[in-house]
Structure 1
Amino acid sequence: MPRFIFPLVLALIGLVLLGDGAYIHAKAWLAQVLLERAFDRSVATGEAVKPWSWADTWPVARIEVKRIGASAIVLEGTSGQALAFGPGHVHQTADAGERGIAVYAAHRDTHFRFLRNVAIGDVIDVTRRDGQHFRYRADASAVVRFDASGIEATTQGFELILATCWPFDAVTPGPERYILHATLIGADR
């Protein structure tokens, strides 16, 4: 009898782990569906629409790099909860399409994983929740310390920064950040 208990316990543990992994993936998939729906409703109404009733954030933009098939819904703020579901719009930075620098930050291993494939010269499309669409061209990138980004908040230009941790393939946190800079090249208002 004891000889059958050990395999049974291992099988039960395996089922629990499999179920937990499936739950996490299902939750992530559902969150993206709800974010897309909230963004589409925001564009239709011009109002901030939370993706679920208890959310502490809401979609403010969609960014796309069509050359590589990348797209992400940007959320307001960069709290840990917001960054778990998508890139965040850094507080006190401009909105996309406005004078100044709009800064979006996300995790390197999830929502900004695609940054490793963005090349200088690529077009980055940003659609705000009010339906306005802006096109930026990636024109520079840099690796900087988190406390020395070199981002000039008082710029008079129309700029976009996408920021994530560096290096892309690291498994532990580090002090370096990858900064992709882009300049506004067009708008559909």
Structure 2
Amino acid sequence: MRALRNPKRGRAAAAAVLIVCGLGLTAQGAWIPAKAAFAQVLLERAFARTLASGHPEKPWPWADTVPEARLSLGGESYIALAGSSGQALAFGPGHVEGTPEAGEPGTAVYAAHRDTQFAVLGRLRPGDPIAVTRSDGTMATFRVTGSRVARWDESGIDPRAPGRHLALSTCWPLDAVTHGPLRLIVEAESDGQGDARSD
């Protein structure tokens, strides 16, 4: 009888371990989107304070970045942070360093994770509107001109290109579960209609 009980106990223990591991992986998978969604609430409040005061306001005391713009695209609205470090992108889109502010001459570039805010990039089509409200209250409006896939180190984006452009970038393919070198880049041009303060 003992010999029969041990295999049952072993299978039960193995099943329990697998269940615990599965729950752990599920919780880990839900953590990033949940953190990004909750952070957007705090970022929205900090952005409202920034617009009201005219000074950058941190979303939480230990934050190493500040809200820089509100991106409105595909029926969604997200607060973008200054910088595109991994720490910033964990909470929302980031304005890529060395690129102009939206609405200024050149190409403003924003990046975000494909499984949080920039999952919406897959739904954008040529002609779709994008609005960017900067922290100084200026709103710049754009129209999507197209999208393409490129290696992260061969994006072809020129921050000093003539005109006023916008590029939104996220990892590709959108449904992948591992990191890779490809990026989906959605490109847009200023439509010149919303380049004014939105006080």
Indicate the TM-score class for this superposition, using the shorter chain for normalisation.
0.7 to 0.9
Normalised by the length of structure 1, the TM-score is: 0.85
SS in 1 for 2:126: coil
Matches within 5 A, 1:132-143: 132-143=138-149
Show CA shifts across 1:15-60 (max 9, x none): x859x66x94765443221111001111111111110011011110
Query: Could you say which residue in structure 1 is the equivalent of 2:62?
Result: 54
What root-mean-square deviation, in Å, do the aligned CA atoms of Structure 1 and Structure 2 show? 2.6
Deviation at 1:153, TM superposition (A): 2.5
Query: Could you say which residue in structure 1 is the equivalent of 2:97?
Result: 91
Q: 1:122 to 1:87 in 2, by over 3 A?
A: same
SS in 2 for 1:36: helix
Q: Is 1:74 paired with 2:118?
A: no
Aligned residues: 182
Matches within 5 A, 1:108-123: 108-123=114-129
Deviation at 1:188, TM superposition (A): 2.4
SS in 1 for 2:117: coil
Amino acid at match of 2:38: L
Q: 1:142 to 1:26 in 2, by over 3 A?
A: closer
Q: Is 1:34 paired with 2:37?
A: no
Query: Could you say which residue in structure 2 is the equivalent of 1:156?
Result: 162
Query: Could you say which residue in structure 1 is the equivalent of 2:134?
Result: 128
**Unaligned segments of structure 1, at least 5 residues:** none
Residues of 1 paired with 2:36 and 2:139: CA distance? Answer: 27
In our comparison, the structure showing a higher alpha carbon Rg is 2
Amino acid at match of 1:130: D
Q: 1:163 to 1:26 in 2, by over 3 A?
A: closer
Amino acid at match of 1:79: S
SS in 2 for 1:40: helix
Residues of 1 paired with 2:36 and 2:108: CA distance? Answer: 26
Show CA shifts across 1:98-145 (max 9, x none): 111100001111110000001110000110111111110001211111
SS in 2 for 1:85: coil
Residues of 2 paired with 1:94 and 1:28: CA distance? Answer: 25
Amino acid at match of 2:159: A
Deviates more, 1:98-107 or 1:23-32: 23-32
Normalised by the length of structure 2, the TM-score is: 0.81
Query: Could you say which residue in structure 2 is the equivalent of 1:45?
Result: 53
